[in-house]
Structure 1
């Protein structure tokens, strides 16, 4: 954390009645993880050689570049990404609820790039995994010996009939899965609190970024109205395409209690088919299994405020390259076919993939990426050395579900859907929402992302 940011955090804490001693105690506990990780990172090195191309300059891509640069004696790394800005995307929910300002969540991409790597500011249009080359929009073909596939996720706005990216906010239909969309959501939320009416919040049927985000904005909207004294003016409802509200058994009971306590009904097995923003109506489809058959029942709901989650998938060029799963639940949306433990591609052993695009059975969160990066980097180096990849990822992910302004249900788990606490939260009761987890979410994770994770230190 930069000195001026630390001072800003201290002042913010003091305004809330939190003394500096308590702040530094929490900071020290959180910092132990970063320090330990940094020490381990510096202890590893290799003289392996090979041209590495990284597709994607988000959390996974830049963190991989930083790790590989520090671990290889003579790194040859090219990173391809068209972005001007690096966004701390977990902050979008906090923009949409008025906790963060828009400028709090981004930095110039050039300031986040590791030094001494080649950054090609361009978009990838194709990958040929047989001939080991990447095709870009403006720079032609780029050859590689080893490929790191981290292009992130593709948001398919058009799969919700009546919605496009450009129409976000029209007809009071909002989504926080976009920087501009998050800002529009905050404006809409405030207006909804004044006018009242029916609020609808939806999940989607595909895997998507941060599975907890739709729940967070729903619960924050509810609490915001309570804070404004307007809760009796709004009727809130939550719709999810899943068969349950949350699929991590350790945390589900408390989450269900919270929704019941807040009087927010939960509607399961429901997909959004389209939105009529002029009439302010959501077109749903209820999916039920009767015997061996699925029965689809369409219905329509009126709304005054809508937050929807769009379907998501791997980028088109990933699907077209044949790099996705060919069967199973992860096949339809093109998620990359990697071994869930080593993160090495099952067909092309000179490719590793991690982050949102990886076809692995865990949540797509920055916390998951932070755990994946050192494993993927070490396994890639093993492949470069002609060895078998031996590092294994256990599926750790964390989803800090913000339950109100001041508390977070810190959901940490692995592939087995077992609760897996990180220090210092192993010393608390993680089955309940925690004030300390709110401090972590709002104050610690963003600087850890920009100054720790992207530098390969956390």
Structure 2
């Protein structure tokens, strides 16, 4: 199956005039080929015992299950997740820009579930971390000795006034943070390129998955309209709730240059308050500080095409179970209170948490999860053995910001916001957009996700 998927990707490359022999050389240099046709790396073996329950069957949960199955001699793993399908969510941007077809980004969840895991297809209503038990919606209470908390995050659509999940696409208000929403975005983007008008793009004031996504769809709209020879018919504006476009200095300079070259104004310290889909008006608040005083200035913008990023948080049960931060910048959205290095809960030492729900100061991306999984798994096994967790996560995350159809600004960084570049990209200038990064993004990361990462490959 893995070879079949890789062959399909190579055929797509050849259609675009890219020689597969040269592409294989690039893959070999990147160390990517080692994820195909290899056995799982058995880093070590442990005879530690205990009932492990994993909440969440996304990238983090299934990858953790696969690793633990490989490393424990007698694993006892239960995974709770209600999903029918496993989505490769980084592909939503590529659906919304016409690069992927919708059926290319998902597989049946049962086909992704590691053999040897007991899968309870249910939702979690609460966790009692004192009595070590989970309450499910349909299967009652489930006890655990050790808990892996990986439920992903909650998208709070209703916190944008006038918007619900069911209204996505209505009044041309679109969002790629949803499978159906990404498909509607592509349809709307094509029509917008024909008719022209004003396009508005927003991020949000909370931490959110794939912080680069709103930037990507904005830049892809610009490039798509240029390819259709209609760029002069559209005006694009980008609104960010932050005080800067991007907070990783090594990459920010080029990103600012791109927006300037494309004639896309950047509006800082602006939140999207609501959307009137009937009149196609976006309601904003500009928030400024003068000393200790906060000044809020509301304003309204007409639009013809809107892409917005909804506020996000930890799932409600995380907050209600007392597992989230209660103070500091991560408290408002109740992100899980874990040590940023060990990924162990700071109050309950038999809980580890990683992925989007984790309250750590780095981006919420699948690349970050890939680095977190072996650290969290090894530290969990140490706890099961009665030892202190010794593995440390440095905050690595990657955000491939697609700048046009053919180039990606591959942003890799750590907790200190310093570049943390992977080989072979160390040999090129990653402070600028690169064709090689586009090949990685479009052709290789998806099969690596489904056939490498989810299967516990190193």
Q: TM-score by structure 1 length?
A: 0.98
Stretch moving more, 89-98 or 39-48: 39-48
* Distance in structure 2 (CA, Å) of the matches to 1:453 and 1:304: 40
SS in 2 for 1:42: coil
* Distance in structure 1 (CA, Å) of the matches to 2:415 and 2:263: 32
Q: CA deviation at 1:27?
A: 2.1
1:138-177 matches, within 5 Å, as: 138-177=138-177
Partner of 2:311: 311
Moved segments of 4+, more than 4 Å = 32-36
* Distance in structure 2 (CA, Å) of the matches to 1:402 and 1:100: 14
Partner of 2:441: 441
* Distance in structure 1 (CA, Å) of the matches to 2:337 and 2:253: 33
Judge conservation of contact 2:59–2:454 (CA < 8 Å) in 1: yes
Judge conservation of contact 1:41–1:71 (CA < 8 Å) in 2: no
CA RMSD of aligned residues (A): 1.3
Partner of 2:81: 81
Q: CA deviation at 1:29?
A: 2.6
Partner of 2:203: 203
Partner of 2:118: 118
Judge conservation of contact 1:285–1:297 (CA < 8 Å) in 2: yes
Partner of 2:225: 225
1:278-427 matches, within 5 Å, as: 278-427=278-427
Deviations 1:357-398 (A, max 9, x none): 000000000000000000000000000000000000000000
* Distance in structure 2 (CA, Å) of the matches to 1:43 and 1:136: 34
SS in 1 for 2:443: helix
Closer/same/farther in 2, CA of residues 34 and 128 from structure 1, 3 Å limit: farther
1:251-270 matches, within 5 Å, as: 251-270=251-270
Judge conservation of contact 2:35–2:448 (CA < 8 Å) in 1: no
* Distance in structure 2 (CA, Å) of the matches to 1:7 and 1:89: 22
Q: CA deviation at 1:40?
A: 8.5
Q: CA deviation at 1:34?
A: 4.7
Deviations 1:205-233 (A, max 9, x none): 00000000000000000000000000000
Unaligned runs of 5+ in 1: none
Deviations 1:99-125 (A, max 9, x none): 000000000000000001100000000
Q: CA deviation at 1:39?
A: 7.7
SS in 1 for 2:31: helix
* Distance in structure 1 (CA, Å) of the matches to 2:18 and 2:40: 33
Q: CA deviation at 1:53?
A: 0.2
Q: CA deviation at 1:35?
A: 5.1
Q: CA deviation at 1:427?
A: 1.1
* Distance in structure 2 (CA, Å) of the matches to 1:21 and 1:121: 44
Partner of 1:272: 272
Unaligned runs of 5+ in 2: none
Q: CA deviation at 1:326?
A: 0.9
State yes or no: 1:44 paired with 2:44.
Answer: yes
Judge conservation of contact 2:342–2:393 (CA < 8 Å) in 1: yes
Q: CA deviation at 1:3?
A: 2.3
Deviations 1:244-270 (A, max 9, x none): 000000000000000000000000000
Judge conservation of contact 2:270–2:286 (CA < 8 Å) in 1: yes
